[in-house]
Amino acid sequence: MDKVSLLKKKNEEALKGGGAKRVEAQHKKGKLTARERLTLLLDEGSFQEIGAMVTHRSRDFGMDKEVYLGDGVVTGYGTVNGRLVYVFSQDFTVFGGSLSETHAEKICRIMDLAMQNGAPVVGLNDSGGARIQEGVVSLGGYADIFYRNVRASGVIPQISAVMGPCAGGAVYSPAITDFILMVEHTSYMFVTGPNVVKTVTHENVTSEELGGAKTHATKSGVTHFACANELECIENIKKLLSYMPQNCEEDAPVYAYEAGNELRTKLNTIIPANPNQPYDIKDVIEELADVNSFVEVHKDYAENIVVGFARIAGRSIGIVANQPAVLAGVLDIESSRKGARFVRFCDAFNIPLLVLVDVPGFLPGTDQEWHGIITNGAKLLFALSEATVPKVTVITRKAYGGAYDVMNSKHIGADMNYAWPTAEIAVMGAKGAAEIIFKKEIADAEDHEAKLKEKENEYLEKFANPYGAAARGFIDEVILPEETRVKLVAAYKMLEQKADSMPKKKHGNIPL
């Protein structure tokens, strides 16, 4: 066989993966192959493969008789909407996508190139775990990947799509990356599988119940997106990338925007007359953001806080908003962690922040205290205090107690703070405050209820408004709700060249 024919034959062999039967089995499970996924993700004709001829080096347990080009992972680079992205896609048709020494080396090579050239890494995970025939070298391969994940954190965006099994040590690479996407019914993540769980704890649980997409989207918060199918998963990856810069030295892409009437009159009637009545903060977000630009992150987890990306006048922003429609918008352990993680991502990649505040305080109770609401609440406080990107706050209604401070108050470095006329900025709610401040007067009164109501109204008149804070400069401007988008467009334009930095140090010690 001549040399050109040999090359063609090897290239054809590499494209086959584990062979037609295994590809068919993959399709029967409702899953795409490694290469089909990359075709959907990357711009047409842009993929450049690296390491297609790599094979494993194992000679034990008959492995020398079973060799596949590429060794279970397709690696390379291409573009998504014209922007450079490095990719690896595990091939379940080859040894179940198991990670060998060479498989890991291919992934590490891609991550090294991504770091050197300042571009995101997208990993499509579909693997049975470490290749047991190789023993410790496959475990070492995982550690090599983890190390690079950590080194790349905050330098380049890292996105993990779990599109099949991801178990044992394999879960820790996605866990270190910035965003995890899972596919419902065909993917799962867990450190120990159902069989081990049953042996150790005697619990009967399926893979889906233990670590499926729905479980991690609602219960653990491990995954940021639970996708109905692989196509939706890949579309979400593309959408996410559009809000991010290529690396920490750049800004996110700016999209063309034609200014029009920026007043949003619907906002004038969005706050209910009854201060205890809920409303959906997502309705506010939709009015403030460019049309159809809001992408919610962690949608089904800790729903009392809403986080996600949007655009205002074509520019990427990250939104953190209390959700009065769920638990009255209180901050608790899960919502504090969720908000803090998102804030730190935005700060790492120069994405300005918008914080919408309607928070009655922190959730009380033994469960919260015993599970660390103090240190978990401090995570959100730390993240917003640490952030040096442009930070703008709008208080729509309640801003009570320590939660007022935590939710991007002027005191922790917010650049611009706005309040609607409906804003209530106080240490606590009027009823509780009146019961403490006027305890004796209420006790001495003939009609306790009437006196309490009188003192409650007195407290409301004094503190249940934004003007005391505005008088002190803690609020820059009290604005009509309809003006909010106008103010935000101007504020972010003004803050474009903001330059701020933390004191010189190795890194802070966030209360993990």
Active site residues: 168-169, 402-403
Question: DSSP per residue over 426-494, as a string?
Answer: ESS-HHHHHHHHTHHHHHHSSSHHHHHHHHHHHHHHHHSSSHHHHHTTSSSEE--GGGHHHHHHHHHHH
Residues with Cβ < 8 Å from 37, sequence gap 6 or more? Answer: 89, 124, 163, 230, 234
Q: Write the CB contacts of 442 (distance below 8 Å, at least 6 apart in sequence).
A: 434, 435, 448, 451, 452, 455
Q: 488: Cβ–Cβ under 8 A, 6 or more apart, which residues?
A: 288, 312, 354, 392, 394
Q: Which of 178, 148, 177 is nearest to 346 (CA)?
A: 178
* Residue 43 contacts residue 78 (beta carbons within 8 Å): yes
CB 344 within 8 A of CB 330: no
Helix (H/G/I), strand (E/B), else coil: 400: strand
Cα–Cα distance for residue pair 354/373, rounded to 1 Å: 24
The Cα–Cα gap between 382 and 385 comes to 5
Give the 3-state DSSP-derived string for 481-492, with helices as H, strands as E and coil as C: HHHHHHHHHHHH
Residue whose tokens read 């429609």? 325
Rounded-to-integer distance, Cα 8 and Cα 242, Å: 37
Helix runs in 3-123, H state only: 3-15, 20-28, 34-41, 101-117
Give the side-chain half-sphere CA count within 13 A for 257: 18
Of residues 137, 142, 187, the one with CA closest to residue 161: 187
Helices (H), 42-135: 101-117
From CA 289, how far away is CA 264, in angstroms rounded? Answer: 11
From CA 89, how far away is CA 169, in angstroms rounded? 18
Closest CA to 388 of 282, 505, 503: 503
In Å, what is the CA distance from 199 to each residue of 20, 194, 206, 207, 287?
A: 37, 9, 14, 15, 52
CA dihedral 489, 293, 339, 358 (to 10 degrees): 60
